[in-house]
């Protein structure tokens, strides 16, 4: 069965042929000119119970995550958020008490990120409860970060730590058992991602390509490679891990698969020139967000825009599940 990007290419990409800001439907968001100097950045994501969250996850956290994953797309474009729209599909399992908690959670992040709710839609279905949010941001014209600017010789970097959310879901589902404080940290990261908005805005003019890690580290770096016509190598031992994630791989190295392909981290992965790396690391320090180089961008190999993961001896590591498949 074809994946998400084949589906877009085969069925929808030609519908956007006359929209320059659609970016071939392959970027984190779309761009709209609103003045000679400014553009609107628009992105939308859906969260479906049983797929993207558990119905017994705290409703306030479901609401905040639904907003934050969209704000993360804005961060990956270097945009400043200005507001959002929300469409929710309710079912019989969502009562007034659930919605009150959901509303309270959403209000926390409306205040925290200064992003008002401008409207949306509410309907009822016999299917799963779902939330779709369309977030709007703004950038100076020509300054948006895209997936398509990586060049051979660039350094590949990430913000924060990788793999926490996927490992948190494994803890949440009873598949991974760690000490209580480690599990609590990982589950918190699964429930509540942190969009790197300040860092994304500061990276304008300093990076070649940027993406937020939602499908998985290897998969999302692969999206950059396909958009830019390059390949990438990732040094596994350079990937920044939290103390909790380190405990998981120390217990069983099989959890590296989760870190490399699990997704839902909503950290930024981006490319830059080596000469700019020190300045970029300083940007992260000022924002309280660690930034680390984890690999290199290279030429395509046999016309393949691929991502390889290397061990400490530069031997290639097989990654059985490089990322989440939408179809």
CB 54 within 8 A of CB 176: no
Q: If one looks up domain 4-140 in CATH, what number appears? A: 3.30.1330.10
Residue that is written with structure tokens 């019989």 in the block:
92
Query: What distances in angstroms separate CA 101 from CA 93, 126, 175, 219, one per listed residue?
Result: 14, 22, 28, 34
Per-residue pLDDT band for 20 (boundaries 50, 70, 90) equals low
Angle of CA points 60, 68, 7, to nearest 5°: 115
Q: Which pTM does this prediction carry?
A: 0.91
Q: What are the tokens at 264?
A: 């839902």
CATH classification (class only), 155-317: alpha beta
76 closest CA partner among 184, 209, 236, 181: 209
Give the C-alpha separation, 84 to 115, whole Å: 7
Residue 323's pLDDT is what? 61
CB 182 within 8 A of CB 237: no
CB 28 within 8 A of CB 42: no
Percent of the chain whose pLDDT exceeds 90: 80
The string of pLDDT tens digits covering residues 252-304 is 999 999 999 998 999 999 999 999 999 999 999 999 999 999 999 999 876 66
The string of pLDDT tens digits covering residues 110-133 is 999 999 999 999 999 999 999 999
Domain extents for the chain? 4-140, 155-317
Q: At what angle do helices 164-172 and 243-251 cross, to 10 degrees?
A: 60
Residue 30's pLDDT is what? 87
Give the C-alpha separation, 16 to 64, whole Å: 31
Q: What are the tokens at 56?
A: 């017994």
């Amino acid at each position: 069965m074809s994946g998400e990007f084949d589906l877009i290419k085969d069925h929808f990409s030609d519908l956007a042929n006359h929209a320059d800001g659609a970016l071939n439907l392959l970027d984190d968001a779309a761009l709209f000119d609103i003045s000679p100097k400014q553009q609107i950045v628009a992105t939308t994501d859906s969260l479906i119970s049983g797929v993207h969250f558990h119905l017994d996850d705290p409703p306030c956290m479901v609401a905040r995550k639904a907003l934050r994953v969209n704000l993360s797309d804005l961060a990956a474009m270097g945009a400043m958020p200005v507001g959002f729209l929300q469409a929710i599909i309710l079912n019989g399992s969502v009562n007034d008490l659930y919605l009150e908690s959901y509303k309270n959670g959403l209000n926390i992040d409306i205040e925290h990120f200064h992003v008002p709710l401008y409207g949306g839609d509410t309907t009822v279905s016999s299917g799963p409860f779902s939330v779709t949010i369309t977030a709007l941001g703004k950038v100076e014209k020509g300054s948006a970060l895209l997936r398509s600017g990586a060049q051979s010789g660039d350094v590949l970097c990430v913000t924060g730590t990788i793999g926490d959310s996927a490992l948190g879901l494994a803890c949440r589902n009873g598949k991974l058992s760690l000490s209580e404080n480690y599990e609590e940290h990982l589950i918190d990261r699964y429930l509540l991602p942190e969009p790197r908005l300040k860092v994304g805005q500061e990276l304008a003019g300093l990076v070649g390509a940027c993406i937020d890690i939602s499908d998985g580290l290897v998969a999302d770096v692969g999206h950059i490679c396909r958009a830019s016509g390059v390949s990438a190598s990732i040094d596994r031992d350079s990937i920044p891990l939290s103390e909790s994630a380190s405990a998981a791989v120390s217990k069983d190295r099989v959890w590296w698969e989760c870190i490399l392909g699990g997704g839902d981290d909503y950290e930024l992965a981006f490319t830059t020139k080596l000469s700019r790396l020190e300045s970029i690391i300083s940007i992260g320090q000022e924002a309280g967000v660690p930034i680390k180089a984890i690999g290199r961008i290279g030429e395509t190999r046999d016309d393949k825009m691929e991502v390889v993961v290397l061990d400490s001896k530069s031997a290639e590591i097989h990654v059985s599940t490089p990322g989440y498949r939408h179809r």
